[in-house]
Structure 1
Amino acid sequence: MKLVECPRDAMQGIHEFIPTALKAAYINLLLKAGFDTLDFGSFVSSKAIPQMQDTKDVLEKLDLSSTSTKLLAIAANLRGAEEAVACPEISYVGFPFSISETFQHRNTNSSMLASLNTVDQILELCDRHQKTAVIYLSMGFGNPYGDPYSFDIVGEWASSLAGLGTKILSLADTTGVSTAEQIRILMPMLQKQFPDIECGLHLHSTPEKRIEKITAAYESGCRRFDSALRGFGGCPMAKDDLTGNIATEELLAFLESRKESTGINDYYWNEALQLSTEVFSYN
């Protein structure tokens, strides 16, 4: 079971700038809580995502001396990936590959074919620097732009990414449109098609749909879950009305009900919950 907590995703759409020291204090508590990975920041244009302009400064304030949690940073192009791999503290570099042409342009200012070449370069870059790339299949459950979508399209693009040497593939529901039925079809499909790739889910959801999506994912064999404390977040590049993440506390409660060991330290998790009230008081 790999639990990926996503403070980066939770914070990135907030317009008022969250002080760097507060971000770092919050992430330090999450580091002590014991997640497998923290999606903590991104190396992207400060004009596109102003909230993430201090990722390097946050990184300098993190205490990694007593944690086994690994850090993941998002990059939207090769230059961002080069910045990320230059940081020895970062283990994973995430790249959002959209199976919607419209969203790929909106999110990375690049076409899908050009972005496939970027993935190839990032994979090679990560290999050279002993990092691992996490490739997100964004808009993996459909898109609001009218671009073509089907399960076959998901499989075709996943196959292209696998052919480049992708080791971790995360199916991402960028706008919260996924259904439990889709999850129950797509997760087993990808796991069967790519047995040597670690397949995960990065789901967005309205609160009333979270548990049914978590249940469908777990029962479909997913063992890599992205989530965010209290379900904060959403993708500001997709649309103005953000749909939040799967809430980590609901995911933890579900896994515990299924007798799964989460490895989360309750003390530090509750400390992070308390501090989150201050972090997300900005808007």
Structure 2
Amino acid sequence: MKIIECPRDAMQGLTTFIPTAMKVKYINQLLKAGFDTIDAGSFVSPKAIPQLRDTADVLNQLDMSNTTSKLLTIVANTRGAEEASTFASVTYMGFPLSMSETFQQRNTNKSIAEALQTVEEINAICKQSGKTLVTYISMGFGNPYGDPYNAAHVSAFVDKLMTLGVAIVSLADTIGVSTPANIRDLFTTLSARYPNAEIGVHLHATPQTAREKIEAAYNAGCRRFDGAIKGFGGCPMADDALVGNLATESILAFLNEKGVDTGIRPSEFNAALQLADEIFPKH
């Protein structure tokens, strides 16, 4: 079971700048909690995501000396990947590949064809620098733009990524339109098609719909979940009412009920919860 905590996603849409020292304090606390991976920042244009313009400074101040967690940073192009590759503390680079032509342009100013070429280039940079690429299939459960979408279309995207040698794929519900039925059907199909691949979910939900989505993914065999404490965050590049991330505590509550060993240390996680209450309401 892999739980990926996403402070990057929680912070990126906030307009009031969170001081670098506060980001460092928060992520250092998360590093103590026992998550598999921390999505800690992004190497993208500061004009696009000004909140994360200090990612390099944050990474340089993190204490990696007593943690089992690995770090992931989002990149949108080869320039960002080359910068991320210089940080020894970064294990994973995440690239957002959209199934929606409209959203791919909105999110990375590329066509899908250009984005697939970028995936190939970033994967090569990852291999050269000892990193691993995580490709997020954004709009993976539907889109509001009228662009083509169906399960076969998703499978075709995953087929292409596997051909390119991508190690990890995460199906992203960018705008919160997933349902238990399409989560179950899509994940069951893909996990059967690629039994040896690591396929996860990055779901967005309201507090009312979170549990049913978590349960559907878990029962379909998903063992990689992205979350953000208290459900903060969402995608600022999507033209919709912002739907938050899956609350990490909801994921953990469900898995604890199932008797799953998540590796999370309750006292350290609770300390992170308290810090989140200090940071997010003020920004």
TM-score, length-scaled by structure 1:
0.99
**Secondary structure of the corresponding residue to residue 146 of structure 1:** coil
2:158, 2:110 → 1: CA distance?
18
Q: CA deviation at 1:266?
A: 1.0
Cα offset for 1:172?
0.4
Q: Secondary structure at the match of 2:281?
A: coil
Asked if the contact 1:101/1:111 (under 8 Å) is kept, the reply is yes
2:158 corresponding residue in structure 1: 158
- Give the equivalent residue in structure 1 for 2:260: 260
Q: Aligned with 1:230: secondary structure?
A: helix
- 1:189 pairs with 2:189: yes
Aligned letter for 2:76? A
Moved more, 175-184 or 231-240: 231-240
Cα deviation for residue 239 of structure 1 reads 2.1
Alpha-carbon contact 1:103-1:238 (below 8 Å) kept: yes
Structure 2 Cα separation of the partners of residues 80 and 87 of structure 1: 12
For 1:169-248, list aligned pairs within 5 A.
169-239=169-239, 241-248=241-248
Contact 2:17/2:51 (8 A) holds in 1:
yes
Instruction: Tell me how far apart the structure 1 counterparts of residues 93 and 240 of structure 2 sit (CA, whole Å).
Output: 26
**Following TM superposition, by how much is the alpha carbon of 1:196 offset from its aligned partner in structure 2, in angstroms?**
2.4
SS at match of 1:34: coil
Deviation (angstroms), 1:240: 5.2
Task: Name 2:136's counterpart in structure 1.
Answer: 136
Query: Residue 92 of structure 1 contacts residue 132 of structure 1 at CA under 8 Å; is this kept in 2?
Result: yes
Matched, 1:53 2:53: yes
1:36 aligned partner, one-letter code: D
CA offsets 1:150-189 (integer angstroms, 9 cap, x no match) = 1110011110111000110000000000000001101111
Contact kept, 8 Å, 1:93 with 1:134, in 2: the verdict is yes
- Give 4+ residue runs of structure 1 displaced > 2 Å after superposition: none
The gaps in structure 2 that reach 5 residues or longer are none
Give the match's secondary structure for 2:243: coil
- 1:141 to partner: Cα distance: 0.4
Post-superposition shift, 1:278? 1.5
SS of residue matched to 2:25: helix
**Equivalent-residue separation in structure 1 for 2:43 and 2:240 (angstroms):** 22
Output the amino acid matched with 1:275: L
State the identity %.
58
Mean Cα deviation higher: 270-279 or 189-198: 189-198
Matches of 1:219 and 1:96, distance apart in 2: 26
* 8 A contact 1:39–1:72 mirrored in 2: yes
Q: Aligned partners of 1:87 and 1:240: how far apart in 2?
A: 34
Q: Distance in 2 between matches of 1:192 and 1:124?
A: 27
Shift of 1:282: 3.0
Report how far residue 130 of structure 1 moved: 0.7
TM-score, length basis structure 2? 0.99
Which residue of structure 2 lines up, in the alignment, with residue 114 of structure 1? 114
CA RMSD of aligned residues (A): 0.8
Mapped contact 2:175–2:240 kept (Cα < 8 A): no
Distance in 1 between the 2:9 and 2:282 partners?
15
1:41-100 Cα offsets, whole Å, 9 max, x none, are 000010000000000111111100000100000001111111111111100000000000
Paired letter, 2:133? A
- How many residue pairs get aligned? The number is 283
Would the aligned equivalents of 1:227 and 1:245 in 2 still touch at CA under 8 Å? yes
Q: Is the 8 A contact 1:17 1:282 kept in 2?
A: no
Partner of 1:82: 82
* One-letter code aligned to 1:51: Q
Aligned to 1:15: 15
CA distance in 1, matches of 2:86, 2:44: 15
Shift in Å, 1:281: 2.2
Give 1:124's aligned amino acid.
A
